[in-house]
């Protein structure tokens, strides 16, 4: 993977995402602060730059919708499935910090989401792909029964239809409030991916900031090809937790995309502006292979 | 001799001390003392039934973590013959927090493996307190493939607070190692039975426990995160561990009720550590029973059942789920 | 512009210098000078045919190791479109001495990988001078499995003095890593074509070159051990490297005669580095031709032919071999 | 594998090797020096102790015949195959140190061997096993066409007959004098082992001192179970070569069996006195499994 941030440019022909259009969520003249270097930017510049800081290169989190708009062809529709699935609080979880039910309702209002993952099919550079896009805003992208079900369903459809699967991760891990049910979603999704691998249908992982815990230790690390956005935190145990529990000070890069690349865990780091073109290139390679088989 | 070391066992320890005091006298015991001894013994049994019949979740956690609790090595010794340890991941190292190999179980060759905490300080250090490194999961992977090649059933024994959370573990890909095992176990072409013998914590436990059957010892726990970690994550304070444990439903009884496990294996009164031979015999007979059932299935049927076992998990926890809409 | 850097190319370099001296004058060239230039150019071509038509084995070694020789990265650039690098072994690291990924070869998606020596000092250090670490072989293993999963042909380009001989390599199992690749490649369910583009040294080369077809560039070498190492082992002195090279029969011509390789791909006069585009085109067309042949076989037939290819190697080197006695 | 030197004792019931009988090759009262610690011993004590130094524990090299006698049941016969295969010097190798032909003849006289490996079937604790035993005395146990052919043949027979295979290695690697033909024997044997693995027939490796180079990087590292004798040098590049080429001083244990065990490459280290019992235990486990399948 040669598309690191330095050399990444998006070929005009593949610039189907039309990011300018996609990112229109902030008023143009609202000032935005880079979450990393605190640089002040105008909202329109921030969005034109795909929420990548022009000063420090920080790739800020995208919402699921922004990510979908960035990736799929402008003229194509995103066909969402399982949109209405919600948790019925299987453990009747007794929280010390208020009921989670009201929290969920609040989240649903503020994000327009019913869960931390959006799942559906779309077209990227003319090729169909099944998309699983996590949204960190919804309970830290945590995985409970609904997330596991939606992802498993997407994997099964992709396998059955022989359409490549792209999962963009962003998650703090399994959802504590659903206990072992949440934990088991790691196994459930991995089992579906085993069948997908057996069927020889491609699975691409895009790791975005942050991805930790049980999501990292399941489908996030099972891609046929795995790419990450620059600077994305991707770990099982995050560096802050390691520092606290081991009482040590870690090197600055531990747990970030560049560190994973150096340690053989991912194929490449791709600047957000090159993301669609990179994924499209990969999809075409697999598409050619699939055609050659028939 | 019984052992009562936990804080909630104080009353039991008191009575036991009185019993031991009398027993020390041996044949010199007077008539009234003999009556007293009998009374104390009855009292102890009643108390034990009372306490162990109504353990809170947090007390269960303490029993599951009891330093005298039987470990994987004990179960292998007590259940199997001709254990032949297989070591190393053929990549990097030999993680002593995983103990596994070939063994004869009631005349049948199996691959048996499990988390090993280590009994004394030196052993605990060697075993990293039972917390596996990536090479531990990759050793498991090797043993799984070995089992598949020779059509050997796999028995896994879970007793891990959580995967090792160190810098080296991130470096060598602890997440990748666990994830790969989940995928491989879900499609391994031979029966897999997991027994949770102590604590089953987080992805670290899951990485050796994707199985056709999951059995739990009566006082073992299985949890999405250690109660301490969960409390810290949810409420920014690990002091609320007991509340987190309760809320997360981590006992064998909870998980049986949630239909996440197949069977609870009873422990001797007072916990597994009070009679290791007895608990090993119970575990062995449960394994053999489930194994016989699994052996009756064709490999394709076995794999389809295993897939559905996991495919179904959580579906009852979802509202608005369409029925029968799978491709 | 041609390059003559090797000791046996001194005469060529002299003539070439004269040619360049004249060519510098460009349009200012006088009539007699133009005649001279023509003469020199003819002389150079004659000399090159003479020298390169009769290279000794040791001279071939020098050409195979020429610092300007095209490397794996050059062949990928010149032969393929849409190269998508796949990195890392998912275990430990990403060995830069192996470069590989998905690519489009004449419209067909393949997995292409090879040894990468590195051109400048910095790159050479990063690539460990082309000598793979265990994680390099394990990256290859991952790419092989990837190819198998998606039914992609595998192209491997060999250019390695030998596997990395360091302490770390022993620690992480360089021998195991190579051995596993030999086993996996011998049974990989997709066509494999190897092209030796420079030097193929020892088990380090073999670890990426168990194939259905082995092609060698005209001036490449393939050897059981580097000539220096072989001389040191056999005669306790690496100064006898040239003799060892000669005796071990390591040139493309030798190995074709011994029927150990399928084809010799001609190089431009003066060696592959004199015209990288031309040599890449030759390699590409040879690969495509063999690939078309292999594509016609069923997978079972392909694997049986590959097995027999290796099964037969060395049988003609044995006296007293019973005929047709295999089980 | 718990049979390290300390606790290893050979159960009387499995002591089928009758080492006293097996090792009778030296005159009883000849003095022998331990190659490692230089301890002086009587020939009969040396042999009674299976050529293991009672002082320092050094496991001296055994001949193929001694190894076979040590392992197979006393009452059973070793049925050797391919005994007469010899190299026809395929490269017409031009040596700077005299012709190799005369060297080979001399070796054949002194060792009674025609090549560096002895191959055949035998019985261990009542169970049939295919044995491949290397002998370091013959050209440093080097592997050329004959060795590759004999080993491949043994693997094929074992696979076909579903009999476990045991290879005891002792080799300096591929035989230079046979060039790439020798190198390719690594691939040839590995290809046969791939088919054996596919068939699910067990393959046990016993690593003995010394095993290096191309033998280590092929069949020696492909065992389903791999055990080593204490102190055996097992490496791809031997420690002395590493020290010379890297200009460093290595820790003392690098490249020896104990080092391999610590680095996850082998299953155990077994004292020579426990060797037969250990292998027998393993064979019974596989035999039970094979019976359960039928
Ligand atoms: Zn910034
Ligand atoms: Zn000694």
Residue pLDDT, tens place only, D106-153? 777 788 999 999 999 999 999 999 999 999 999 999 999 999 999 999
Q: Does pLDDT of C119 surpass 80? A: yes
Answer yes or no: do B223 and A214 touch at CB < 8 A. Answer: no
pLDDT tens for residues D5-59? 333 333 333 333 344 444 455 666 788 999 999 999 998 899 999 999 999 999 9
Answer yes or no: do C170 and D87 touch at CB < 8 A. Answer: no
pLDDT tens for residues D190-200? 999 999 999 99
Centre of ligand 2 to C-alpha B87, Å, is 28
Answer yes or no: do C138 and B91 touch at CB < 8 A. Answer: yes
pLDDT tens for residues B145-173? 999 999 999 999 999 999 999 999 999 99
Give residue D94's pLDDT. Answer: 86
Question: Residue C301's CB: how many other CB atoms inside 10 A?
Answer: 11
Residues in B touching D202 (Cβ below 8 Å): 150
Segment holding A123, helix H or strand E = strand A117-124
Answer yes or no: do B86 and D267 touch at CB < 8 A. Answer: yes
What does the alpha-carbon distance between residue A67 and residue A87 come to, in Å, rounded to a whole number? Answer: 24
Q: Does pLDDT of D2 surpass 60? A: no
Give residue C323's pLDDT. Answer: 72
Average pLDDT, chain B: 95
Segment holding B278, helix H or strand E = helix B276-295
CATH number listed for the domain at residues C61-319: 3.90.226.10
DSSP calls for B80-133: -EEEEE----SSS---TTEEEEEEEETTEEEEEEEE---SSHHHHHHTGGG---
CA-closest candidate to residue D88, choices D178, D148, D172, D150? D178
Separation of first and last alpha carbons in chain B? 59
Answer yes or no: do B92 and C138 touch at CB < 8 A. Answer: no
Answer yes or no: do B173 and C90 touch at CB < 8 A. Answer: yes
Cα angle at A163 between A162 and A168, to 5 degrees? 135
Q: Does pLDDT of C138 surpass 50? A: yes
Centre of ligand 2 to C-alpha D232, Å, is 14
Q: How confident is the model at residue C326 (pLDDT cuts 50, 70, 90)?
A: low
Question: Residue A135's CB: how many other CB atoms inside 10 A?
Answer: 25
Domain positions in chain B are 7-54, 61-319
Note the ipTM here.
0.95
The second-level CATH assignment, the architecture, of D62-293 is Alpha-Beta Complex (3.90)
CA-closest candidate to residue A219, choices B286, D214, D58, B183? B183
Residues in B touching C92 (Cβ below 8 Å): 91-92, 172-173
Of C90, C173, C176, the CB nearest to B176: C90
Contact D254, C170 (CB under 8 A): yes
* Mean pLDDT confidence for C6-21: 94
What does the alpha-carbon distance between residue D47 and residue D50 come to, in Å, rounded to a whole number? Answer: 5
Answer yes or no: do A152 and B203 touch at CB < 8 A. Answer: no
Give residue B31's pLDDT. Answer: 86
Closest ligand to the CA of D38: 2
pLDDT tens for residues C168-195? 999 999 999 999 999 999 999 999 999 9
Centre of ligand 2 to C-alpha D103, Å, is 31
Do the two chains D and A touch, given a threshold of 8 Å on CB pairs and at least 3 pairs? no
* Crossing angle of helices B276-295 and B72-79, rounded to 10°: 70
Closest ligand to the CA of A230: 1
Centre of ligand 1 to C-alpha D137, Å, is 69
Average pLDDT, chain C: 95
Burial call D69-87: b when 16+ CB within 10 Å, e when fewer: bbbbbeeeebebbbeebeb
Separation of first and last alpha carbons in chain C? 59
C/D interface, count of CB pairs below 8 Å: 217
**Minimal-distance CA residue of chain C relative to D174:** C224
* CA R_g for chain B: 21
Contact C170, D235 (CB under 8 A): yes
Give residue A8's pLDDT. Answer: 35
Question: Residue B240's CB: how many other CB atoms inside 10 A?
Answer: 20
Give residue B29's pLDDT. Answer: 85
Chains that touch C (3 or more CB pairs under 8 A): A, B, D
Answer yes or no: do C172 and B92 touch at CB < 8 A. Answer: yes
Residues in A touching C103 (Cβ below 8 Å): 285
Any chain B CB within 8 A of the CB of C176? Answer: yes
The shortest C-alpha distance from C132 to chain A (Å) reads 14
Q: Cis peptide before D210, with omega less than 30 degrees from 0?
A: yes
Give residue A269's pLDDT. Answer: 98
* Crossing angle of helices B31-53 and B10-24, rounded to 10°: 160
Write out residues 264-283 of B within 8 Å (CB-CB) of C: none
CA-closest candidate to residue B176, choices A174, C88, A198? C88
Segment holding D151, helix H or strand E = helix D145-161
Low-confidence ranges of chain A (pLDDT < 50): 1-23
Best B132, B229, B310 member to test A by mutation, with max A CBs in 10 Å, is B310
CA-closest candidate to residue C240, choices D96, D91, D101, D177? D96
């Amino acid at each position: 993977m040669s598309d690191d941030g330095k050399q990444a440019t998006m070929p005009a022909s593949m610039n189907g995402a039309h990011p300018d259009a996609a990112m229109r969520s902030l008023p143009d003249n609202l000032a935005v602060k880079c979450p990393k270097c605190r640089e002040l930017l105008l909202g329109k510049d921030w969005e034109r730059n795909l929420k990548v800081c022009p000063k420090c290169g920080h790739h800020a989190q995208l919402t699921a919708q922004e990510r979908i708009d960035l990736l799929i062809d402008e003229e194509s529709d995103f066909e969402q499935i399982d949109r209405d699935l919600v948790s019925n609080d299987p453990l009747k979880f007794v929280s010390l910090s208020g009921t989670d039910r009201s929290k969920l309702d609040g989240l649903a209002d503020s994000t327009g989401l019913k869960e931390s993952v959006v799942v559906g099919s779309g077209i990227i550079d003319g090729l169909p792909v099944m998309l699983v896009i996590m949204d960190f805003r919804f309970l830290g992208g945590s995985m409970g029964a609904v997330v596991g079900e939606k992802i498993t369903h997407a994997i099964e459809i992709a396998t059955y239809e022989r359409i490549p699967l792209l999962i963009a991760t962003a998650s703090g891990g399994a959802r504590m409030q659903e206990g072992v049910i949440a934990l088991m979603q790691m196994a459930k999704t991995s089992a579906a991916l085993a069948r997908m691998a057996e069927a020889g249908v491609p699975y691409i992982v895009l790791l975005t900031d942050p991805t930790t815990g049980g999501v990292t230790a399941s489908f996030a690390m099972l891609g046929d090809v795995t790419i990450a956005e620059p600077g994305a935190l991707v770990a099982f145990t995050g560096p802050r937790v390691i520092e606290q529990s081991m009482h040590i000070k870690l090197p600055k890069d531990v747990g970030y995309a560049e560190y994973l690349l150096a340690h053989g865990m991912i194929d490449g780091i791709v600047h957000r502006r090159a993301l669609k073109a990179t994924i499209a290139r990969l999809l075409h390679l697999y598409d050619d292979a699939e055609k050659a088989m028939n | 001799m019984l052992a009562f070391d936990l804080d909630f066992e104080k009353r039991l320890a008191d009575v036991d001390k009185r019993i031991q005091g009398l027993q020390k006298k041996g044949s010199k015991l007077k008539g009234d003392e003999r009556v007293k001894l009998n009374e104390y013994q009855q009292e102890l049994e009643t108390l034990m039934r009372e306490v162990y019949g109504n353990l809170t979740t947090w007390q269960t956690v303490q029993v599951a973590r009891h330093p005298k609790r039987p470990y994987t090595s004990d179960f292998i010794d007590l259940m199997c013959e001709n254990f032949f340890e297989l070591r190393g991941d053929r990549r990097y190292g030999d993680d002593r927090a995983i103990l596994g190999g070939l063994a004869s179980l009631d005349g049948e060759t199996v691959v048996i493996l499990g988390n090993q905490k280590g009994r004394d300080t030196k052993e605990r250090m060697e075993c990293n307190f039972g917390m596996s490194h990536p090479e531990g999961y990759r050793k498991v992977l090797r043993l799984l493939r070995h089992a598949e090649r020779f059509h050997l059933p796999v028995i896994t024994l879970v007793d891990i607070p959580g995967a090792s959370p160190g810098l080296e573990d991130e470096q060598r890909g602890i997440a990748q190692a666990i994830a790969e095992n989940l995928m491989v176990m879900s499609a391994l072409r031979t029966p897999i039975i997991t027994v949770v013998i102590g604590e089953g914590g987080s992805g670290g436990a899951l990485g050796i426990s994707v199985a056709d059957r999951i059995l739990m010892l009566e006082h073992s726990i299985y949890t999405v995160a250690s109660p301490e970690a969960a409390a810290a994550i949810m409420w920014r304070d690990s002091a609320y561990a007991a509340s987190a444990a309760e809320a997360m439903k981590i006992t064998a009884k909870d998980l049986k009720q949630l239909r996440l496990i197949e069977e609870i294996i009873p422990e001797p009164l007072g916990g597994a550590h009070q009679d290791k031979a007895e608990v090993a015999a119970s575990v062995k007979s449960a394994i053999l029973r489930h194994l016989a059932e699994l052996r009756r299935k064709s490999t394709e049927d076995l794999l389809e059942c295993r897939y559905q076992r996991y495919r179904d998990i959580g579906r009852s926890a979802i509202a608005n789920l369409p029925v029968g809409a799978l491709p």
